[in-house]
Structure 1
Amino acid sequence: MPFKMKPGRLMLMEPDPRTSYKYTIWFDYTRNQMINIKEGDLVAVPNFNSTVDLTTYSILSITSTMPIHYALGGGGNDIKGYPGYVMEAASNLPVDWMEQENDSFEDTTKIICTAVPIFMEFVDNIGTAIKQKKIVQETSVPMLGGEVRLLSPEFTERIFNNGIDNEKENTMAIGNLIRDEDIQIYTRIDDLIKVHFGLFGFTGVGKSNFLSNFISNILDKSNETLKILLFDLMDEYAGLLIDKLLDDSINSCILCVGEKSLPGPVLEYLKYREEDKLDFAVDSLLKNLLVPKGLKPHKNQYQDSLKKLLVQNKIKIIESSMERTYTQFMSEIHDKIYDQYTSDKMEFALNKALKPPLKKFGEEKLNDEVARKIIVYLEEIANLDENKSIKERLERLIYLLEEIAENKIEEININSRISLTQLVHDLNNEDKNSLYIAISHDPHALRNFAKKIGYYIYENRRANGKITPINSFIFDEADEFIPQSATGSYAESSQIIETLARRGRKFGIGIGIATQRITYLNTNIMGQPHTYFISKLPRDSDREKVAEAFAMSKEMLSQTFKFNKGNWLLVSHDATGLDAVPIPIKTDNAEDRLKKFLGVDGY
């Protein structure tokens, strides 16, 4: 039989604009049932396609469960009566909860569940094995008053992975059901990557941990070549993906946008690659390395791996970080010079002061030589100008130009450099998987790099009609790349990411966005991913954004309030066996994978 436990009853059916219907189910309370009925469980209820001989069941997904005792009013939760009566009634409740272990004998106790349809049904042919029961698209609605039965683990697994062929398709297990660790949930890797994904959760839910394992798993499990480019704004993934960076089967490296993205001793080693500078470089990397809390006691065990990163040329500076015109540079840093306190009069004066160097050097490549020439001019203007506010803004610009004047990419050893041309070539190369982690000390520079590499790979593939290998551009702290109101470098990254989100899938280019600040995202991009991973979202505005983008009710997200670290609500239009049905999953802990790689005792 595909069922387990005692049946409940379908008591209420209400229209819902996002899920078509919302259902209320009552189960007789027992302590055993209360423990075993969980959010995410699948239940079956007879629908109107049933006949005298055969019962056709609609399948629903439980979104919330709550024990109710009707001694506290008609709704079971009324405490507005006379305090003495309410307290007396409440004092008797624990006895009813505890005594009904396996059998229900109190009419006043119920388990009230809400559920949503998954738009599938099956016919319960008596004698037909679970594997042979045919699951089809729902063609009717459940009967009010019908018996509601929880489905068995075997049948539940069939439904959640419906239509996924692990032998013929490019798939991987993304995690297991929270309520049953023996039930693995599979996803189609191509659809997961190519049609975009979003990762949303508040601080502390384990976004970085999940993303680390996610990237590791798709690189390991995919039977097709994948290219991952991760934009790491907080510089935290070197420690979380150290095993993949050193995997010989993967073409991988850390991409540094600008020399100042690296500590001084590391830069010295990359310039000259002299043996006596290596240990200083490793110590400097180790001091600056961010690792998750569980790995902090073992941080020193990263030392050998960091040395290999340097020796094996796994840290490279992008030559294109210097390939920008002065006009482009001024667009990037616009908001740093023209801040919110800039009056119209001040803006006019600044424009006048900055016009001559823009006219003279605007279309020139902004290298160290050009930067020094512009600095000389700006210093003269700053010394002459008596307006302190204008002077302060010119000094800000001079400081930013001095950073460029000090950078000399040609001094870096050729093995420690990579050009955009080389990068695009590898992103189109089908020989082996690749992993690139892009970092920068300057968020504006990282956004500018995102625009450049996104534009180059998109135009290259569009012009040549190329669709493989699959590329995934993943943006951690996505609100820093695709905000709602975008100006300067924000506008540049937002524009190219929106282009990739809308049109990239035609050419095998997908995006991934991970953030806790959903409300601040560009809404045109927010609605593009076909797969979401959602954890705790305390802000109502964030839940509303997710619900709206995926056309699901906020009630569906309420189960995330109970999630522990590593628990996620997976919803997908393409990658899973169920279309737009939330699946509560538990994922592996990346720290366990890394401890094993680092040789921590016990792993």
Structure 2
Amino acid sequence: MSNDNHEIYKTLFQQRHNRLIAGYLIDVNGSQCEIWFPYSIEVMKLLTKGAFLAAENFSSINLPIDDEISFLDNEKHFSILQITDKKAIYYKIQEMKNTPSSIKLEEDFEKLQKDWNRSLKEEESPNLKIQVFADITDYEIKVTGNEYLIKQNEMEPIQGYKVYLLNNEIVEQVINKGIIKKKTIFPVGLHKFYNVNVFIDYNSLINRHFGIFATTGAGKSNLVSSLFSYLMYHSEENTNIVVFDVNNEYITLLSDCLAKINDTHVIILEESYLGKYANSFLKGNLSNLELAAQEITDSIVIPSSLKTYKDKIREIVRFLLSKGVFKMFVEGESIEKFLFSFGQFLKNNITVGRGSKVTKQKITSFVEFMREKIQDTSINITKTHLNYINTNLRDWAEEYFGSELIQYCETYLQQMNTFINKFADEFKEPSDYLFSIGREGLFKIVSDNEKSLVIVLSDNDNTLRYFASYFIDFMYNFRKSRGITSPPILFFFDEADLFIPGSIKRSEEEESSSIKKVKESCQMLARRGRKYGMGLGLATQRIAYNDTNVLAQLNTYFVGKLMRKTDRQIITESYGISEGAISETVGFGPGDWTLLSTCATGIKNTPIAIHMENAEDRIKNFIEEEWAKLELIFIKLMFEKFVEISKDERIFEELNAEIAELIIPDYVNI
């Protein structure tokens, strides 16, 4: 090794006691290599599963070809390998095993034990080796003088040549190669062994579909919560997430997003899912707010570490109820559709005379001002909403047109009132729910220019399956017919084996029918959804029980603790990696994941061991640090509304009636 090379090698490879950590390549068998390292306790601890090595490959050998040098003399190429297994071997012990009668156990073994303490600073022992197995990745490091480049691997490593252990800085560049400069990335976690950030491209994650596979207790829901909070807070695109929540876990685990993000919705599919007070509240009996909040809090899953915060979680649920986040799914016309009709009326029927102080453009733009006042226009419209709009129309007009122009608008306001009254007379309410949403509202949620989070709940698996199929098919057909590709929509299925089982067992007709329906929708979404900005996410305990046609379309896997070999084999076959590359997941704890992707990570088709933050810690921080501020704002707005309603400042008289008046305008956002 030249002095020049030695300097760049110190940049690329790990060293201890001023010595590069190096072994020798013994064998190459397909994509797997065997390497021997001189034993030392330091190196034994550094050569962990998932660690990266660099083995010089045949591109480094420079020979004259047709009287020309094909490569620069000082150019070196190192294939990047990843450790899948290791074992320390003591050859004296191997010999003893062959001649057991010739040894004294206590005497001989006590002498040998000291050798395991060998340090890298001491002379190499001929009897001790570290045997390492590693997979060849698709990447190499090209070294030219003092410069290096990470690129696609082109040649096989050379047996008998040195193999080096990459240092942390280079590993970070390797695992994030190709995506680190993209705007559509976020740090998904820390590398389990190198303590460097691992980034993921969320566009590829969503549009090319992903799966989360691990046994119970491995932290699947925590991972989902962390991923979705990243998307809500950090993605630059207006991503829409729809979660089919079988176990009612995500109201708690995404409570910070539900409270802080403007466009959030918890959609209930049938009345039987809620208790009597929650149902009563959604039907307009707003004096039941406290009891409804308690009822819902008692029904949701709260992780053990958050149980002490149950009272705070109830306050958050109360806030979400007041904000209009909880809605019953009922087919009906949305407030948005009413505003569209109102806008068309203004455009086509209100005329402005010559010399008028108010322009046609000013009048037709009034509907946008109303939309801002109403805010959540996805809700199904009722006569209560129409009365509220009619009552506030003049006040809104005075605010919008201003004192100088409002005097010229009397005729226009009368025409607007007439339109609203006629609409109300002809209008048939779809249900007795004040807080409800239909297909038009769902469409608006996932089609506007705001990030949206939707959690769908049902106490009937068949109902949830039918609804998922209905929603996916509706959005897919609408986008396909118009060539729409944005904003992105992610449909996420928790307990995916309930939706896309590998086979449909003999069961009751309705269950078989609902499974068949949602499987067809998910297969279509997996195959063709990305063309129209629609992605699929799955989480399941048993990958082997799920539909292979859907699994084959997932381009990113998060693999946690998987005890069954059959589940691990599906993953190794999908990515063409060795069993050793994934077997370490058996020993994973909560928050530990192997990340595999063909598109969303920097280094493709290569297992990346990551540790993700505990989502429960994020929720604790939200409750302890942020919720108090949000609650103060909420109380301030309540107080201001009480004063406004009472007029004569008798603030707390007839409390229930005032709560009703308070919630309808400001927190139902109607």
3-state SS of paired residue (2:609): strand
Q: State which drifts further: 432-441 or 55-64.
A: 55-64
| Alpha-carbon distance change, 102 to 293 in structure 1, aligned in 2, over 3 angstroms | farther
1:465 aligned onto 2:480: no
| Alpha-carbon distance change, 144 to 101 in structure 1, aligned in 2, over 3 angstroms | closer
Match of 1:305 in 2: 316
Within 2, Cα distance between the matches of 1:83 and 1:264? Answer: 80
Match of 1:327 in 2: none
Instruction: Give a deviation string over 1:104-144, Cα, whole Å, max 9, x none.
Output: 5322222222111112222223333xxxx222211211000
Match of 1:374 in 2: none
Kept after mapping to 2: 8 A contact 1:273/1:413: no
Match of 2:80 in 1: 59
What is the CA-CA distance between 1:169 and the residue it aligns to? 3.0
| Alpha-carbon distance change, 56 to 445 in structure 1, aligned in 2, over 3 angstroms | same
| Alpha-carbon distance change, 264 to 91 in structure 1, aligned in 2, over 3 angstroms | farther
Kept after mapping to 2: 8 A contact 1:120/1:138: yes
Kept after mapping to 2: 8 A contact 1:72/1:86: no
| Alpha-carbon distance change, 447 to 104 in structure 1, aligned in 2, over 3 angstroms | farther
| Alpha-carbon distance change, 261 to 80 in structure 1, aligned in 2, over 3 angstroms | farther
What is the CA-CA distance between 1:71 and the residue it aligns to? 2.9
Gapped runs of 5+ residues in structure 1? 16-20, 322-408
- Which amino acid in 1 is paired with 2:202? I
Pairing of 1:153-232 with structure 2 (within 5 A): 153-166=168-181, 168-181=182-195, 183-232=196-245
Alignment equivalent of 1:263, drawn from 251, 275, 284 = 275
1:437 aligned onto 2:458: no
Match of 2:296 in 1: 285
Instruction: Give a deviation string over 1:311-339, Cα, whole Å, max 9, x none.
Output: 11111111159xxxxxxxxxxxxxxxxxx
Alignment equivalent of 2:607, drawn from 565, 574, 582 = 582
| Alpha-carbon distance change, 109 to 600 in structure 1, aligned in 2, over 3 angstroms | farther
- Which amino acid in 1 is paired with 2:25? L
Match of 2:265 in 1: 253
3-state SS of paired residue (1:432): coil
RMSD of the alignment, in Å?
2.2
Q: State which drifts further: 458-467 or 83-92.
A: 83-92
Match of 2:53 in 1: 43
Kept after mapping to 2: 8 A contact 1:193/1:472: yes
Match of 1:337 in 2: none
Kept after mapping to 1: 8 A contact 2:180/2:602: no
3-state SS of paired residue (1:154): helix
1:526 aligned onto 2:540: no
| Alpha-carbon distance change, 538 to 79 in structure 1, aligned in 2, over 3 angstroms | farther
3-state SS of paired residue (1:169): coil
3-state SS of paired residue (1:112): strand
Kept after mapping to 1: 8 A contact 2:180/2:199: no
Percent sequence identity is: 31
| Alpha-carbon distance change, 423 to 79 in structure 1, aligned in 2, over 3 angstroms | farther
Kept after mapping to 1: 8 A contact 2:485/2:532: yes
Match of 2:248 in 1: 235
Instruction: Give a deviation string over 1:552-583, Cα, whole Å, max 9, x none.
Output: 22221012223221111111111111121111
- Which amino acid in 2 is paired with 1:112? Q
Within 2, Cα distance between the matches of 1:259 and 1:84? Answer: 80
What is the CA-CA distance between 1:162 and the residue it aligns to? 0.8
3-state SS of paired residue (2:131): strand
What is the CA-CA distance between 1:206 and the residue it aligns to? 0.5
- Which amino acid in 2 is paired with 1:12? D
What is the CA-CA distance between 1:266 and the residue it aligns to? 1.1
What is the CA-CA distance between 1:478 and the residue it aligns to? 0.4
Within 1, Cα distance between the matches of 2:575 and 2:327? Answer: 39
Within 2, Cα distance between the matches of 1:22 and 1:179? Answer: 21
Match of 1:151 in 2: 166
Within 2, Cα distance between the matches of 1:451 and 1:156? Answer: 43
- Which amino acid in 2 is paired with 1:272? G
- Which amino acid in 2 is paired with 1:446? L
Within 2, Cα distance between the matches of 1:296 and 1:201? Answer: 24
Instruction: Give a deviation string over 1:143-202, Cα, whole Å, max 9, x none.
Output: 001111011211111111111143x43111111111122x11111111010000010011
| Alpha-carbon distance change, 87 to 519 in structure 1, aligned in 2, over 3 angstroms | farther
Match of 1:380 in 2: none
Kept after mapping to 2: 8 A contact 1:527/1:550: no
What is the CA-CA distance between 1:99 and the residue it aligns to? 4.2
Instruction: Give a deviation string over 1:427-450, Cα, whole Å, max 9, x none.
Output: 122x11000011100011001111
Alignment equivalent of 2:542, drawn from 506, 511, 517 = 517
3-state SS of paired residue (1:513): strand
Pairing of 1:60-79 with structure 2 (within 5 A): 60-73=81-94
Within 2, Cα distance between the matches of 1:102 and 1:213? Answer: 44
Match of 1:127 in 2: 146
Alignment equivalent of 2:439, drawn from 420, 423, 429 = 420
Within 2, Cα distance between the matches of 1:457 and 1:264? Answer: 33
| Alpha-carbon distance change, 142 to 101 in structure 1, aligned in 2, over 3 angstroms | closer
Kept after mapping to 2: 8 A contact 1:526/1:549: no
Match of 2:509 in 1: none
Kept after mapping to 2: 8 A contact 1:70/1:109: yes
Q: State which drifts further: 36-45 or 305-314.
A: 36-45
Within 1, Cα distance between the matches of 2:306 and 2:543? Answer: 29
Match of 1:11 in 2: 26
Kept after mapping to 1: 8 A contact 2:202/2:600: yes
3-state SS of paired residue (2:75): coil
What is the CA-CA distance between 1:293 and the residue it aligns to? 2.1
Within 1, Cα distance between the matches of 2:139 and 2:233? Answer: 33
3-state SS of paired residue (2:246): coil
Kept after mapping to 1: 8 A contact 2:331/2:430: no
The alignment's TM-score, normalised by the length of structure 1, stands at 0.79
Match of 1:596 in 2: 621
Within 2, Cα distance between the matches of 1:296 and 1:93? Answer: 53
Match of 1:24 in 2: 34
Within 2, Cα distance between the matches of 1:282 and 1:160? Answer: 45
| Alpha-carbon distance change, 71 to 311 in structure 1, aligned in 2, over 3 angstroms | same
- Which amino acid in 1 is paired with 2:168? P
The alignment's TM-score, normalised by the length of structure 2, stands at 0.71
Match of 1:138 in 2: 153
Kept after mapping to 2: 8 A contact 1:79/1:86: no
Instruction: Give a deviation string over 1:195-243, Cα, whole Å, max 9, x none.
Output: 0001001111100011101100012111111000011111111100001
1:491 aligned onto 2:530: no
Within 1, Cα distance between the matches of 2:616 and 2:97? Answer: 46
3-state SS of paired residue (2:156): coil
